């Protein structure tokens, strides 16, 4: 990851669903670039944990947690501004009714823990929402990292994001608790490609 990111000199990194904040904090500690980190999470406890993790590792001055449902409130202000996007989505296939939204979380805060894993049909109810926003969010040389399961049908995702102007590369394959997971890198092809894709998707 460092070999890909350092030459791009990213100014702004967005982590969606930061949880404990370990991922963004790790990057802030080890990526020797002048990068500011925004993180979002629907769970206020996760935002607190993210700030605490960053503070304990002395990078809190470069990181700002925001309580938000995915990217709510970030557009249009950050249109085309995200150089690096990190997303470990709720990817476990479940019933659609189990997927946690801002509305359900507001009425039943106990759902917030389920938001970390309930992915809906094919485990992609949340993932697809974010992917469709990539053309608006990402900077022209932007890179996104996304965790997927085989059950999420990565080939379908690759075809979908190709139409949005991105290439997908599988970086690593791991197995955790019986789940085969893959870290994928999504690289923007060109800003013009994205504009054409948005026009075609109408």
pLDDT category of residue 96 using cuts at 50, 70 and 90: confident
Q: E strands along the chain, which residues?
A: 12-16, 36-41, 63-67, 82-87, 138-149, 166-176, 179-188
> Of the candidates 84, 88, 110, which has an alpha carbon nearest to the alpha carbon of residue 31?
84
Residues 67-82: what's their mean pLDDT? 95
Percent of the chain with pLDDT over 70: 84
Establish if 100 belongs to a structural domain. no
Q: Which residue has the higher pLDDT, 74 or 96?
A: 74
Tell whether 22 is covered by a domain: yes
Tens digits of per-residue pLDDT, 179-196? 667 889 989 764 444 444
Average pLDDT for 100-112: 66
Distance of CA 50 to the CA centre of its chain: 15
Q: Report if residue 115 sits inside a domain.
A: no
Say whether pLDDT at 111 is over 80.
no
Instruction: Report CA-CA distances (Å) from 37 to 15, 34, 41, 84, 97.
Output: 8, 10, 13, 9, 32
Digit-coded pLDDT (tens) for 18-52:
999 999 999 999 998 999 999 999 999 999 999 99
Assess if residue 114 is contained within a domain.
no
- Full residue range of the structural domain in which residue 153 is found: 1-91+121-200
> Structural domain tally of the chain?
1
pTM beyond cutoff 0.75 = yes
Judge whether residue 91 has pLDDT over 60.
yes
Nearest by Cα to 75 from 123, 32, 40: 40
- Which residue did the predictor score with more confidence, 99 or 134? 134
Q: How confident is the model at residue 136 (pLDDT cuts 50, 70, 90)?
A: very high
Q: Give the torsion sign (CA, 143, 148, 150, 152).
A: negative
pLDDT band (50, 70, 90) for residue 83: very high
- Is 110 a member of any domain? no
Q: Is residue 98 part of a domain?
A: no
pLDDT in tens, 153-189: 999 999 999 999 999 998 887 766 556 678 899 897 6
What CATH number is associated with residue 15? 3.40.50.150
Q: What long-range pairs does 10-13 form, CB within 8 A, spacing at least 24? A: 10/35, 10/83, 10/84, 10/143, 11/35, 11/36, 11/83, 12/36, 12/38, 12/78, 12/81, 12/82, 12/83, 12/84, 12/139, 13/37, 13/38, 13/82, 13/83, 13/84, 13/85, 13/86
């Amino acid at each position: 990851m460092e070999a890909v990111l350092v030459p791009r000199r990213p100014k702004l990194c967005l982590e969606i669903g930061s949880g404990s904040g370990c991922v963004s904090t790790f990057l802030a500690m080890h990526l020797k670039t002048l990068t500011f980190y925004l993180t979002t999470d629907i769970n206020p406890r996760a935002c607190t944990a993210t700030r605490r993790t960053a503070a304990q590792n002395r990078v809190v001055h470069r990181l700002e947690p925001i309580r938000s449902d995915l990217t709510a409130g970030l557009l249009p202000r950050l249109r085309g501004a995200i150089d690096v996007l990190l997303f470990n989505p709720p990817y476990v296939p479940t019933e659609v009714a189990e997927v946690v939204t801002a509305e359900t979380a507001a009425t039943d805060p106990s759902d917030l823990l389920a938001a970390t894993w309930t992915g809906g049909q094919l485990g992609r109810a949340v993932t697809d929402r974010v992917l469709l926003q990539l053309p608006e969010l990402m900077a022209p040389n932007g890179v996104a990292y996304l965790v997927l399961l085989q059950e999420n049908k990565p080939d379908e995702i690759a075809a979908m994001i190709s139409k949005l102007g991105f290439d997908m590369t599988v970086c690593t394959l791991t197995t955790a608790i019986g789940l085969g997971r893959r870290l994928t890198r999504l690289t923007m092809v060109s800003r013009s490609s994205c504009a054409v894709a948005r026009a075609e998707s109408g």
